[in-house]
Amino acid sequence: MAQPTDEAIATAEPATAEPAPAPARRDRTRFLRNPKTLTGLVILAGFVLIAIIGPWIAPHDPSARGPELLQPPSWQHLFGTTQTGQDIFSQILVGARGVLVVGFTAALIAGVLSVIVGVTAGYLGGLGDDLLSSVSNIFLVIPGLPLIIIIASFLPDTGDLAIAAIIGLTGWAWGARVLRAQTLSLRNRDYVQAAKATGESTPRIIVFELLPNLTAVIASGFIGTVIFAVLANVTLAFIGVADISDWNWGTVLFWAQSNQALAQGAWWWFVPAGLCIALLGTALALINFGIDEFINPRLRSPGKEDRAVRMRIGFTPVVRRDYPRDAAPAAAAPPAGPDAPDRPDAPDRPDGAEAPDAPEARGGTAPAGAADRPGTAGTDTGKESHR
Amino acid sequence: MKYLLQRLAFYAVTAWAAITINFVIPRLMPGDPVQALINRFQGQLSTKAIDSLYTLFGLDDERSLWQQYLDYWGNLLRGDLGTSFAFFPTGVGDIIAESLPWTLALMGVTTLISFVLGTGIGIYAGWRRGSWLDGLLPVTTFISSIPYFWLGLLAISVFAVQWRVFPASGGHDASVVPGMTWGFISSALYHALLPAITIVISAVAGWILGMRNMMVSVSSEDYVLVAQAKGLSERRVMFSYAARNAILPNISNFALSLGFIVGGTLLVEMVFSYPGIGYRLFQAVGAKDYPMMQGVFLIITLAVLAANLLADLAYMALDPRTRREA
């Protein structure tokens, strides 16, 4: 469910992700200092480690049957045993690899497709854009999970890579849509125009001028797809579509369900796998929040330097440095027409770079211009989200 | 009006694409899937079923692909979705017609509840950014990362096995005859409660997050500041100025994430053996009942398209700009 959030932000703020080179470096450390991102990265690293060394550190063979049937957790079997005496802890350890491999492979495929479709559509415009965005909208509207289930159950081979390919080939539309919106807002920037004027070729402009500025959006889409792919993969294994001879967390749940673990009160059989899925999903979502806040400064929770501003009841909790950024252009220039693709001077300024605290200036002049803003600012949003 | 026509055209194209995908998938699969199936069932399939299998996979060589496509459309337009393998003489359409009301009721009510609840909490959490409500965020993140079906398993083990408060499976008591009687309706509601709570808990988190982030963005807009400077009550500013503008993207997101919600609901039905479409799909997957699977996929897709159209109409009613462009 992290994806709707990204979408909302990308459409609402079509112009924010353009860090100028110098402050970008400072902002990057800010990205890593964000406690959410850090927590997410640490948990993810833990799972990656398990995925790599899991099969070696597993205390038992996950498929080997043992004499202790359906035992609750003990020191011998940390997560208990199954009905046939298999060690669930080992199954979880060994299964991590399949989950992560499918998640990242699928996201890689979907990411590449979404960049190709989204950036091309956004940059070219015209008929090509109409065609490509219709295709991605169609893929967006067709319910993904049932489609994946149908395709997977028709396939004779449903190993990890086949599943990853299906998820990747059907799950690129979200990313393409967000990237297209972002590219639309970038393509008329001065530096792109300048590159065009100096005669750079279109592929070169896309690769060297546009893509670097889309990195954050691409990364956020990638992680969103990993979350979706992990869930889809586990689901496919759980309902028995994917190959159940490979261990992954969904397979554990499949055996738990088909052996009536619930009715026998064997909670240890299905709780650990679900917790692992949820923990992995949370870690990825946290990283995505970090990226979102990096792209959209308004979402940042007040850090140490912002604590000086106290939130009061009856007052919009606005961090003070935001005022001049939004208010100044509105006061200086008339509101942009509804067809202006972006407001070039409004949100580009890197956070706090040259924003003197000037609430007095705002008080006098801004409201007059600001009264018209809802319409114009909102029109961008409305158009973007409904094309 | 132009906007509406554009949307209608888009949905028509999407419906065509979905139907065509449904037609193409079996024909793209490598090998001879029919022979594999016949071996699998070891003589349990009647000749008629085998014939329909060959038609389904497009392996009867007498017809061109184009002719098959036309036949497929002809059958669809007559409402013929094929014959189920698992429930052999029964048509797929009949089985779906029987299960669809269950799914529609469960999914419609839970989606509405989670949207209203999540948006409400999101408005408040976004408005009070920086307060204790931000503590909700990690919790909602965690919940939204939990697969629907696993939450369902957990709910069953706690409330149906441990405490025996709710029934663990089924849509109504076996002793009650379905019909418009009080006994049946109360039994159905009782059985629907646990699945419904599961879906609401899983789905609400996403709405909270989306709405909260939109509120945070909107509440630093100048017009919100102006509204406050005018001395309007906080309630009025929050709902009529900030939330009103923040909710629009949430509605278009609602339309777009419907497919995702539907997928989750299908899984909850599978876990609870709830007699809706998702459980049918689950049974069909287990029995390799291809016509059933395809029929379910088609109906789900068309239902999602219809729901999207409704969301578009709501958007048109709420956002005057879509009307002005016409």
B249-294 pLDDT, tens digit each: 888 777 777 777 788 888 888 888 888 888 888 888 887 788 888 8
Residues in A touching B281 (Cβ below 8 Å): 146, 149
Give φ, ψ of A157 to 5 degrees: -110, 120
pLDDT of residue A347: 38
Residues in B touching A144 (Cβ below 8 Å): 259-260, 263
In A, minimum Cα distance to B233 occurs at: A314
Q: Which of residues 148-177 of A touch B (CB under 8 A)?
A: 149-151, 153-156
Chain B closest-CA separation from residue A339 CA (Å): 12
Alpha carbon distance B160, B162 (integer Å): 6
Chain A closest-CA separation from residue B268 CA (Å): 11
Chain A closest-CA separation from residue B181 CA (Å): 31
Chain B closest-CA separation from residue A150 CA (Å): 7
At CA A193, angle to CA A187 and CA A195, rounded to 5? 110
How confident is the model over B107-133, as pLDDT tens digits? 888 988 998 999 999 888 888 877 787
pLDDT of residue B45: 65
Q: Indicate the SS3 state at residue A260.
A: coil
How confident is the model over B154-191, as pLDDT tens digits? 888 888 887 887 887 777 777 777 777 788 888 888 88
Residues in A touching B127 (Cβ below 8 Å): 316-317
What is the Cβ-side half-sphere exposure of residue A142, based on CA atoms within 13 angstroms?
A: 30
pLDDT of residue A123: 86
* Partner residue facing A317 (CB), from B31, B129, B147: B129
A240 and B CB contact within 8 Å: yes
Alpha carbon distance A187, A196 (integer Å): 10
* CB contact (8 A) between residue B293 and residue A253: no
Tally A–B CB contacts below 8 A: 266
What is the Cβ-side half-sphere exposure of residue A118, based on CA atoms within 13 angstroms?
A: 26
pLDDT of residue A159: 82
Residues in A touching B245 (Cβ below 8 Å): 374, 378
pLDDT of residue A47: 93
This model of the complex carries an ipTM of: 0.84
pLDDT of residue A383: 34
- For an interface test with B, which of A136, A154, A384 has the most B Cβ atoms less than 10 Å from its Cβ? A154
* CB contact (8 A) between residue B322 and residue A234: no
* CB contact (8 A) between residue A146 and residue B281: yes
Average pLDDT over residues B139-163: 83
Distances A200 to A116, A204, A209, B51, B187 between C-alpha atoms, Å: 19, 6, 10, 60, 70
Alpha carbon distance B55, B26 (integer Å): 10
Give the list of residues 6+ apart from residue A369 with CB closer than 8 angstroms, or none.
A330, A331, A334, A335, B222
Chain B closest-CA separation from residue A12 CA (Å): 8
Higher pLDDT, B50 or B44: B50
* CB contact (8 A) between residue A281 and residue B144: yes
Residues in A touching B321 (Cβ below 8 Å): 378-379, 382
Amino acid (one-letter) located at B229: A
* CB contact (8 A) between residue B234 and residue A267: no
Residues in B touching A311 (Cβ below 8 Å): 128-131
Chain A closest-CA separation from residue B216 CA (Å): 6
pTM (global) more than 0.80: no
Alpha carbon distance A302, B210 (integer Å): 19
In B, minimum Cα distance to A293 occurs at: B213
Contact A120, A179 (CB under 8 A): no
Neighbours of B84 (CB within 10 A): 26
pLDDT of residue A113: 93
Q: Which residues of chain A have pLDDT under 70?
A: 1-31, 298-387
Strand-pair partners of B91 = B83
* CB contact (8 A) between residue B228 and residue A9: no
Alpha carbon distance A352, A357 (integer Å): 10
Contact A110, A171 (CB under 8 A): yes
B215 and A CB contact within 8 Å: no
Residue of B217, B247, B223 whose CA lies nearest to A335: B223
DSSP single-letter state for residue B133: G
